[in-house]
Structure 1
Amino acid sequence: MIELEYKSEFLEVSYDSENSWVISKWTPNTRYLTIDQYKQEVLVVCQAFIDHKPVFGSLALTQDFYFILDPETQEWLTQQFEGYQPSKSAVVVAQEFVSQLSIEQTVQSMDIIVNYFSNEQEAREWLMNQTKVSEN
């Protein structure tokens, strides 16, 4: 069962209790985000990880993510998730190249398995397969 936990003009955060995933979905309004607003939104996602301790992963829907993460913000983001990020993450890639590149640079410094996908269905299927492998 997927439950919406948070919704703003920039982000929706849900928890899928059946699969033990946190789902973050960024909106096209991210092109108007300020750095302070971005950090507040990230803290909401981090809190979802703290609250639910998802076992099998996270699904990041970044296809409409337009905010560009500078190196300092990338480092800050990594620190926020340290110890809370599940071991696997599926990311639906951002359409905007520079935004996607900044996401990939950020994730590289995290100790997790990440796969990138062009659509949500492929990302969900990969996570489902990872869940089944982990259960065996």
Structure 2
Amino acid sequence: MGTSRLHGSYSTKCSLEDVLAPNAICYNSLIEFHAKKGDFDSMNEILSFMEERGVETNIGTYTIPIDSYLDFREINKAEKAFEEMSTGGLKGDIYLYIAMINANCRVGNIKRAFALFDECVELGLSLLNLVVYYCLIPAEFLF
């Protein structure tokens, strides 16, 4: 499906809003489409549109942009989205925390990585995942 066709579908979706009220899953699909391309402006535009329409966000609404920001090495943007998610009352799952811990370790933000680790403990998330330790232990010695 070409980009123009997808945008046409997006416009059609908006015009059918009275008939079919889009939910978080619909918006998350559009967010993911733009996020995977690194088109963060369009992604954020859809997020804003979603919020304006009063569509309730879910963990996926934040995980998609955070993962994409991390893929494109935009850790500050990922941190901002992570903070917005927490402020909005949503809590990340262990996989999101692992991604954030790993990204912070890669750029030398060891204090932040350990702070995220501590948040996992406070939230009662299972930390029996060796990936977390694999990220933190070498980072402690490297930086």
TM-score of the aligned structures, taking structure 1 as reference length: 0.31
Q: Give the greater-gyration-radius structure (CA).
A: 2
Q: Which has the higher contact order (CA 8 A, sep 6+)?
A: 1
> Greater strand percent: which structure?
1
TM-score of the aligned structures, taking structure 2 as reference length: 0.31
> Greater helix percent: which structure?
2
